């Protein structure tokens, strides 16, 4: 069951504390370059859902933080990933997700051919190359692992720790849901005119629910009664759902079964979990001032007790609309913050104990950036 996250002693907000932010980290292009090289390159990213590539040679083109990655389902059902960058002169092997009938990717520029794992298997005008340049040539590898039905990638396999180590105590939390057996429903893409950290910060506290989410879930949660915890570089909060009386549940409370549990999958994904359904949202910079988010809807493939499966299935499918409306509320306020990014009055954010996960996030981020 893992650690107690609700009840006496569960809340860590006092320990995680308060802080004042540095306003330059949202605007400085040099800071973004540092984040790309020292943070995004060194961490695992959620790149999709395994059901998106059900057949052999189905593939995803994942493009974030200046990188292009090909994620390919193999005939033995495993998944391989490699940089979508031709070793000859750098063209992309594919520009959109899809299916490759032959399992061989041919570069559109001069026709180098790659197998489904990234090995170069065909070189036009081979005799005109220095043989030493071609020996063992393959697309630069990307590490890929599947956890909870999600496709995770690490863009620098030489330094990647195993995903289970990277997730650490977060996996103990997420294991409860058994998301590997859940159904993937749909996804949406969102663009925001604000720095990626502004967007992510919005997902690290629920205090804004009554003021920002006025058209959706306004009174549905009790954010001021939330409990907070750090999980290595990741973090979580347990937000009581008004309709479910978490106080009347016998202790110790299995928080996943009774509350809205929100997790930061450090550093670029957020997952909002209800006992039987959830939304995962990835957050990556386009540049210092714009952000790209991808939101996925998943739900249990069995209906909760007492509910007909067809009704359940239809209700999770409909929740895509709710996610889009909630995201529209969140992203409208992120756009507001983006609008004042260059203000002379911008002296740095103030984070209270309801926002302790933001303080923790920046501390973890800084650790990656210093060396």
**Smallest gap, in angstroms, from Cβ of residue 262 to Fe ion?**
10
- Part of the chain binding Fe ion (CB under 5 A), chosen from 87-95, 104-112, 169-177, 323-331: 323-331
Cβ distance 203 to 334 under 8 Å?
Answer: no
Give dist(CA 37, CA 292) in Å, integer.
18
**Smallest gap, in angstroms, from Cβ of residue 69 to ligand FES?**
17
Dihedral angle sign, alpha carbons of residues 158, 163, 164, 167: positive
Q: Using the rule CB under 6 A, is 110 a contact of ligand FES?
A: yes
With contacts defined by CB under 6 A, how many residues of the chain interact with ligand FES? Answer: 10
Q: Which does 109 bind (CB under 5 to 8 A by kind): Fe ion, ligand FES, none?
A: ligand FES
Cβ distance 256 to 173 under 8 Å?
Answer: yes
Q: Which does 330 bind (CB under 5 to 8 A by kind): Fe ion, ligand FES, none?
A: Fe ion
Q: Which does 136 bind (CB under 5 to 8 A by kind): Fe ion, ligand FES, none?
A: none
CB of 112 or CB of 312, closer to ligand FES? 112
Cβ distance 114 to 121 under 8 Å?
Answer: yes
Tokens representing 346? 């911008």
Could you say which of 13, 330, 354, 356 contacts Fe ion (CB under 5 A)?
Answer: 330
Cβ distance 148 to 172 under 8 Å?
Answer: no
Tokens representing 299? 């739900």
Could you say which of 88, 183, 255, 360 contacts ligand FES (CB under 6 A)?
Answer: 88
Task: Give the nearest residue (CB) to Fe ion.
Answer: 330
Tokens representing 296? 């996925």
- Count of residues for the chain? 371
H/E element, 162: none
SS3 202: helix
CB of 157 or CB of 223, closer to Fe ion? 223
**Smallest gap, in angstroms, from Cβ of residue 141 to ligand FES?**
17
The contacts of residue 305 (CB under 8 Å, 6+ apart) are none
The contacts of residue 289 (CB under 8 Å, 6+ apart) are 27, 193, 194, 195, 338, 341
- Part of the chain binding Fe ion (CB under 5 A), chosen from 44-52, 78-86, 220-228, 328-336: 328-336
- Among the listed residues 237, 173, 167, the one whose alpha carbon sits nearest the alpha carbon of residue 1: 173
Q: Which does 89 bind (CB under 5 to 8 A by kind): Fe ion, ligand FES, none?
A: ligand FES
- Part of the chain binding ligand FES (CB under 6 A), chosen from 87-95, 221-229, 234-242, 255-263: 87-95
CB of 1 or CB of 328, closer to Fe ion? 328
Residue 308 CB burial class (10 angstroms; 0-12, 13-18, ≥19) = exposed
Cβ distance 4 to 347 under 8 Å?
Answer: no
Could you say which of 107, 170, 281, 326 contacts ligand FES (CB under 6 A)?
Answer: 107
The mark string for 277-316 relative to Fe ion (x by CB under 5 A, - otherwise) is ----------------------------------------
- Chain positions 47 to 86 lying near ligand FES, rule: CB under 6 A, are 86
Could you say which of 37, 95, 109, 122 contacts ligand FES (CB under 6 A)?
Answer: 109
- Among the listed residues 239, 208, 211, the one whose alpha carbon sits nearest the alpha carbon of residue 6: 239
Residues near Fe ion, by CB under 5 A: 330
Residues near ligand FES, by CB under 6 A: 86, 88-91, 107, 109-112
């Amino acid at each position: 069951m893992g650690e107690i996250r609700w009840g006496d002693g569960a809340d860590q907000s006092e320990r995680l504390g308060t802080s004042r932010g540095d306003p330059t980290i949202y605007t400085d292009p040099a800071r973004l370059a540092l984040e790309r090289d020292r943070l995004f390159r060194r961490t695992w990213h959620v790149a999709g859902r395994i059901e998106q590539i059900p057949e052999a040679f189905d593939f995803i083109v994942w493009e974030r933080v200046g990188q292009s990655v090909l994620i390919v389902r193999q005939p033995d059902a495993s998944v391989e990933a490699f940089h979508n960058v031709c070793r000859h002169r750098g063209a992309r092997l594919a520009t959109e997700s899809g299916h490759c009938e032959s399992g061989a990717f041919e570069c559109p520029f001069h026709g180098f051919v790659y197998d489904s794992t990234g090995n170069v298997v065909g070189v036009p005008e081979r005799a005109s190359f220095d043989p030493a340049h071609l020996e063992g040539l393959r697309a630069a590898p990307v590490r890929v692992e599947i956890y909870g039905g999600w496709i995770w990638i690490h863009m620098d396999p030489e330094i990647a720790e195993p995903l289970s180590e990277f997730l650490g105590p977060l996996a103990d939390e997420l294991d409860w849901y058994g998301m590997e057996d859940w159904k993937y429903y749909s996804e949406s893409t969102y663009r925001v005119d604000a720095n990626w950290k502004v967007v992510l910060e919005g997902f690290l506290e629920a205090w804004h629910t009554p003021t920002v989410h006025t058209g959706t879930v306004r009174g549905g949660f009790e954010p001021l009664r939330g409990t907070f915890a750090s999980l290595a570089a990741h973090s979580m909060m347990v937000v009581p759902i008004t309709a479910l009386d978490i106080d009347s549940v016998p202790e110790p409370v299995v928080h996943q079964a009774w509350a809205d549990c929100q997790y930061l999958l450090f550093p670029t994904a957020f997952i909002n979990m209800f006992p039987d359904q959830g939304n995962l949202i990835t957050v990556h910079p386009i540049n210092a001032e714009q952000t790209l988010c991808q939101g996925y809807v998943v739900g249990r493939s069995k209906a909760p007790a007492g509910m007909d499966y067809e009704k359940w299935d239809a209700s999770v499918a409909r929740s895509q609309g709710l996610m889009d409306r909630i995201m529209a509320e969140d992203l409208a306020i992120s756009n507001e913050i983006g609008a004042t990014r260059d203000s002379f009055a911008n002296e740095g954010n103030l984070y209270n104990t309801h926002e302790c996960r933001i303080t923790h996030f920046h501390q973890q981020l800084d650790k990656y950036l210093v060396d």
